Amino acid sequence: MADNEKSIPHKIEWTAPEYLHYPKSFWWYFGTGLITILLVGYFVFTREFLTATLFLVLAVLLFFFARKSPRNLDIILGPAGVKINSFQIPYQQIGPCTDP
């Protein structure tokens, strides 16, 4: 029994990306930019300046986050809980599994 306890690791750790990143092609940016220009132009033409501004801001955010690369996260499952980089989550806060 002592041999089995020694073979169990006290913590499991790995590195994973923050999210899956799909590189975008030139045509994705071109199409998104064209759609944005058409939408903003339409709403300016119909004098809906707030909606045009909203679509412009949303397009800028979309382009910004499309180019952003994910960070690598250090994940550790240890006796105290789950640790992601420097953020610790105790097992008591995760709660029990309630599968049907």
Tokens of 93: 């806060």
For the chain, give me the number of helices (H) and strands (E)?
4, 4
pTM flag (> 0.75): no
Q: What pLDDT score was predicted for residue 90?
A: 87
User: Mean of the per-residue pLDDT values for the chain?
Assistant: 88
